[in-house]
Every structure is written in C-alpha cells, then in structure tokens.
Structure 1
Amino acid sequence: MQVSAQSAYVLHSRAYRESSALVDILTPQGRFRAVLRGARGKAGTLARPFIPLEMEFRGRGELKNIARLEAAGVPNLLSGSALFSGLYLNELLIRLLPAEDPHPELFEHYALSLRALAANPPLEPLLRSFEWRLLDELGYGFALDVDLAGQPIKRDGLYRLQPDAGMEQVAQLQPGLFQGADLLAMAQADWASPGALAAAKRLMRQALAPHLGGRPLVSRELFMNLKEPARD
C-alpha cells in the first residue's frame, strides 16, 4: 500500500542494516517508524531533524518504507540551547505519542515551535507551551483556573497536582505544592508574573512523569550538562 504525500518531520534516525536508516517520523496523521533505503545518499542528508519534508510511505505493517522524500521548506537551523530544546520536543513525541494516532493540530504546533526556536526566543515559555499542548492532545490536560472540586483557584490558596485529574486544594504546607497565584498566571500565560515560569516547569515535570515510565529523558540530561559551567 502506498500512502499519499504527507508533510513530515524526522524526529530521530539511526543506522539500519548495511545502507538504510530506521526513522521516527511525525506527520499530521501521526507518528510513524519507517525504513529509508539508500540513507547514505541524498535522501540521507534530508532525513534529519527540524527539516520540513514531504514523504510518501509504502507498507501495511507498523514498520513502513519511505517511498519518496523531498524537502518542503527551509530547514530550521538550531544551535546551542535551541538545538537541545528541539531534541527535547522530539524525544517527548517519541516517548509519549502513540504510533499512527492522528494529531494534525499538534503537528502544526510542533512546526510553529521549531520556527520559533530558530529565531532564538526565550526558551522556557515555548517549552512549557509545547508540553501543555502535548498533554492536552493526549487527553491528560487539566484546568489551571478551577480545582478538582469545581471551585475557582484562589490566589492565596495552596494546591497539589493529582496527575491526569487536576489541582487539589490543600490546607497544610507540604512538599511539591503550588501557589494559586502562580496557577492563575499560567492559565493566562502571564510569564512576567514572578515565579510563574519556575512553577510551570515544576508542574509540567510532575504532570509528565507518570507517562515517562521512570526512564529519564536523554535530551533533558544533555541540556542540563550544557547549562552547567565548565570545571577546572
């Protein structure tokens, strides 16, 4: 079976057999794994992350073959922290997005995120936005302005996350809590609010953790190593 041409991005590729590559691909119709034959030629230079592509696939099983691969836009040239951020988005998609599960709006958000990363914006708001969109697309999203009891979040309240459910108000101080003011700032994407970005990063880690199966994200470790100062 040959699939009609689709917009696509390569999320990851690795050598496969003598001259082929095993490629993880994101399209509006979902995430696929496919074999690219002749990966040492021109096609192999295109089968890299962050390049807008057009692809056709053949095959009925889970592992398809790439029948055609062409550039479909200007490559997103990422470097430094933006590069590691892009690799982080790719790893999240590979780890969390079910195979062949269509998410056209997530695909568009990913494409926009790559273009934004290429412009070297502040990274934290962009990463938090993508994490939130991914959770929501997978059905794991939750409200930031209303708690589990259906009550509006109080600015002076304290809350904890119940994964895949939402925010629960608590009466006593305990580790891992969130201030209501920070949750309301997140709900409005008000990243100028003091503490909102730090709280959002902590919240997204708590929300993503149950779905990552206890395995650390390689891109996150690489990013942390990049940010650590060199030692004598």
Structure 2
Amino acid sequence: MIGATLPAFVLHSRAYRESSALVDFFTPEGRLRAVLRGARGKAGTLARPFLPLEAEFRGRGELKNVGRLDSAGIPNLLGGEALFSGLYLNELLVRLLPAEDPQPALFEHYAVTLQALAANRPLEPLLRAFEWRLLDQLGYGFALDTDLAGQPIAAEGIYRLLPDAGLEPVGQLQPGLFQGRELLALAEADWDAPGALGAAKRLMRQALAPHLGGRPLVSRELFMTIKEPPRD
C-alpha cells in the first residue's frame, strides 16, 4: 500500500516518540495503524475521533505512515451519552477488527451511525444495530428467527445463546435466557416491542463476550460512571 488515499476515521490515538502519534484508523480497507508525524501541528488537530477524513497511507508493512491528512466532511459533534457511545463503537472496532481486513459495508454503517448519534437519535437501537452488523461482518453472526437446528423460533419458546452455534431451545425461563417473542421482535428490528431493547442488550453482550477475551471495555466502564447517581 504505497500512496493509497482513503476515506478514514480515527479510532484511537496515542503519543509516539517526540512529536508523532500512533493512530488506529478505520477505512473501507479495514483497520490501519499508522504513524502520524508532526502530531502537534495541523495534522494533530485533525487526528481526533468522529471527524470524516481523507488520509494518504504509505508503506507496505503492518505499520504505515500517514503522508497526508485532510478533513473530508462535517465533524460529528458528540456530547454526553452520545460521546460515550461513539467511544464504545471505536473501542469495539480496535479490539475486534483484524488489521487490514477490508470492511466497506461496515465502514459505511459506522459513518451513518455517527451521523445518527450526532443528531441525538435514540442510542440503544443504534448501538445494538451496529453490534449486530459488526458480529455479522466478522463471521460471528447467527439467525434470530431460527434455532441452531434450523427450526423456526417459537414465540412462546425459551432460548439460550451458544455464541459459536446459535440459539438453542431450553425448558424454562431463567436469568440470561430469551423469550421467543423477544427474538422475533429483534429479527424484525421492532424496538418498540415489549422487552426488545433489554433482550437485545443482553444478547449482544453474550455474543460479544467470547471475542473480547475477558478484558472489560474501558468505554463501558466510563459510561457506567456517568450513569451512577451522585453519592452523598
């Protein structure tokens, strides 16, 4: 990849040597890690999350160099819970995306999700939809309307998730399990159905957990701190 120019977003950046930064970018060609030189100058002001960029990457190895970095659109201004949600999406991508694995559809979905977060649309459906798309694009997706044996999900049934296989019918409802009607609502993206949002959150956490390697998500922990009521 010599002189490739791509649309990009910054996922994460940290100081590197004296005046450079080591930056994880998300591009249609996947996640790219690159050295941004002169990070204390103009380029450094652009190397922030949620800003649409056009970046020129140089080098053949896994660690690239940024040859040029320009703004390519209106910044997605996120604040409050939307900001933490955006940081959560970025952390998922850094943790789960293999380097240089092309993901043009996921890149487009990410860009649209940032715009929706900036427009203050309801957070939960946006986050659940992105988690589902991420799992599916990485090959970890599973059906929501059929069980692991290929049988249709029954509205009155009870199911548990086997992350590497799919949904398995079980005898009775217990904590962490799912009602068939909830799963069918998720299959239709019917977020107004009773229990759908709560079920979607539990389902995505269970589905993501094996791929996160047991390490907690920093963005999730930060988000929980702002959700906790103030102490006396």
Asked whether the two chains share a fold, i.e. TM above 0.5, the reply is yes
Q: CA RMSD in A?
A: 0.8
Maintained 8 Å contact 2:13/2:21: yes
Maintained 8 Å contact 2:5/2:54: yes
Which amino acid in the other structure matches residue 227 of structure 2? Answer: K
Q: Matched residues, percent identical?
A: 79
2:179 maps to which residue? 179
Query: What is the correspondence of 1:130-141 to structure 2 with a 5 Å cutoff?
Result: 130-141=130-141
Per-residue deviation, 1:171: 1.5
2:69 maps to which residue? 69
* Greater mean deviation of Cα atoms: 168-177 or 48-57: 168-177
CA distance in 1, matches of 2:227, 2:104: 33
Query: What is the correspondence of 1:1-232 to structure 2 with a 5 Å cutoff?
Result: 2-232=2-232
Maintained 8 Å contact 2:158/2:177: yes
Per-residue deviation, 1:174: 3.4
Per-residue deviation, 1:81: 0.1
Per-residue deviation, 1:173: 3.5
Which amino acid in the other structure matches residue 92 of structure 2? Answer: L
Matched length: 232
Maintained 8 Å contact 2:4/2:58: no
Which amino acid in the other structure matches residue 148 of structure 1? Answer: L
Maintained 8 Å contact 2:23/2:36: yes
Which stretches of structure 1, 4 residues or more, deviate above 6 A after TM superposition? none
CA distance in 2, matches of 1:3, 1:183: 46
Maintained 8 Å contact 2:10/2:51: yes
Question: 1:51-71: per-residue Cα shift (whole Å, max 9, x none)?
Answer: 000001111111110000000
CA distance in 2, matches of 1:144, 1:224: 28
Maintained 8 Å contact 2:173/2:179: no
CA distance in 2, matches of 1:60, 1:35: 13
CA distance in 1, matches of 2:228, 2:167: 33
Which amino acid in the other structure matches residue 29 of structure 2? Answer: Q
Maintained 8 Å contact 2:34/2:64: yes
Per-residue deviation, 1:2: 2.1
Q: How does the TM-score come out when normalised to structure 2?
A: 0.98
Secondary structure of 1:229's aligned partner: coil
- Structure 2, unpaired ranges of 5+: none
Which amino acid in the other structure matches residue 142 of structure 2? Answer: F
CA distance in 2, matches of 1:176, 1:3: 49
Per-residue deviation, 1:27: 0.3
Per-residue deviation, 1:175: 3.3
Per-residue deviation, 1:194: 0.8
Which amino acid in the other structure matches residue 140 of structure 1? Answer: Y
- Structure 1, unpaired ranges of 5+: none
Secondary structure of 1:131's aligned partner: helix
CA distance in 1, matches of 2:227, 2:193: 24
Question: 1:36-87: per-residue Cα shift (whole Å, max 9, x none)?
Answer: 0000000000000000000011111111100000000000000000000000
Question: 1:100-148: per-residue Cα shift (whole Å, max 9, x none)?
Answer: 0000000000000000000011100000000000000000000000001
CA distance in 1, matches of 2:83, 2:57: 28
Which amino acid in the other structure matches residue 114 of structure 1? Answer: L
Secondary structure of 1:44's aligned partner: helix
Per-residue deviation, 1:164: 2.6
Secondary structure of 2:205's aligned partner: helix
Which amino acid in the other structure matches residue 108 of structure 1? Answer: E
